[in-house]
Structure 1
């Protein structure tokens, strides 16, 4: 897709994050099953529900903005998901894997925070006010998930069983 205008950039970015969210809906159940910490597993399950809502919100942005998404694959999310899967395969189930899963999930959240922040700014610049508000709503959810993961990381890493 040739990107020549801000609107093209917005469509490309929205298409990219749509792909990212779709990939995440497949990855989150695997993370939830791999986690041994019940709070972490529950956080992944909760975020799956939020992610499904975020996909629906992107559909609303598309509808209210009168644009059409492009079919593309978010290679950044593909790499982040693959990294998490490698950790599941390589690290024994337990507190160390839980810590690795938190780190992997936070990388995803930071990617999403950057993407939604940029998209909300572009939507504002392009006059897509309703779309901007929807994107800002998702941005706040992503930030809240990142905070929850930070709290879980602090709990997980403070447990004696993690060792050194």
Structure 2
């Protein structure tokens, strides 16, 4: 009797031959989430780390931006991000937990990419456009995360957390829209 679940997918190689690839079921790590509450708390730790990391990255983005509208948007979002950290701390408190950060690999990758974009572009409109692109990737990650966390909070009947998460979600969406507006009205025409 086989103990691991497997899936077979037929693929065609560059030589035209069909081959089968086998995927195995991934075993859970020690201490893995056992229920939705555990998953919710783990995800809160991830986004808490992400928001704290973002408070360190945003000033670097602002310093490297040249467009005044973009600089002001980044500065404004830094203030909001500090509020997001405080809201997450409130959420942990509502759960009767101490706020704890767990490294978020996704955010680390996005921040690393943003740094690379700044290193690979000359200061000016092109770098500003790259900063906006990097910032919007971060916003989209945060929008997805806060939307998911709010849904988890609703199912878990964690109403205070849900309210806090939805408030942050709305601010993340507004920031994304502002970045789009700055790119559409100012930067993309200058960076050609």
TM score, norm. by length of structure 2: 0.81
Distance across 2 between alignment mates of 1:38 and 1:118 = 33
Which residue of structure 1 aligns with residue 191 of structure 2? 162
Please give the alpha-carbon distance, in whole angstroms, between the structure 1 residues aligned to 2:188 and 2:93. 46
Matches for 1:38-77 after TM superposition, within 5 Å: 38-77=68-107
Question: Structure 1 residue 2: deviation in Å?
Answer: 1.1
Match of residue 120 from structure 1: 150
CA RMSD in angstroms comes to 1.2
Tell which structure's C-alpha radius of gyration is larger: 2
| Larger proportion of helix | 1
Q: Residue 133 of structure 1 aligns with which residue? A: 163
| 2:93–2:99 CA contact under 8 A, matched in 1 | no
Instruction: Give the Cα separation in 2 of the matches to 1:113 and 1:48.
Output: 16
Residue 150 (structure 1) aligned with residue 180 (structure 2): yes
Provide, for residues 52-78 of structure 1, a one-character-per-residue CA deviation record: whole Å limited to 9, x for no partner. 000000000111122345542001110
Which aligned segments of 4 or more residues in structure 1 are displaced greater than 4 angstroms?
A: 68-71
TM-score (norm 1): 0.95
Q: Distance in 2 between matches of 1:70 and 1:56?
A: 12
Match of 2:116 in 1: 86
Give the number of aligned pairs: 162
Distance 1:85 1:158 in 2: 20
Q: Is the 8 A contact 1:7 1:126 kept in 2?
A: yes
Q: Which of the two has greater strand per residue?
A: 2
Q: Could you report, residue by residue, the CA deviation over 1:15-62 in whole angstroms, capped at 9, with x for unpaired residues?
A: 000010011000000000111100001111110000000000000011
Structure 1 Cα separation of the partners of residues 82 and 99 of structure 2: 17
Question: Which structure ranks higher in relative contact order (CA pairs < 8 Å, sequence separation ≥ 6)?
Answer: 1
Contact 2:129 2:188 in 1 (8 A): no
* Cα distance in structure 1, aligned partners of 2:67 and 2:101: 37
Q: CA deviation at 1:158?
A: 4.7
Of 1-10 and 24-33, deviating more is 1-10
Partner residue, 2:11: none
With 80-89 and 108-117 compared, the bigger mean Cα shift is at 80-89
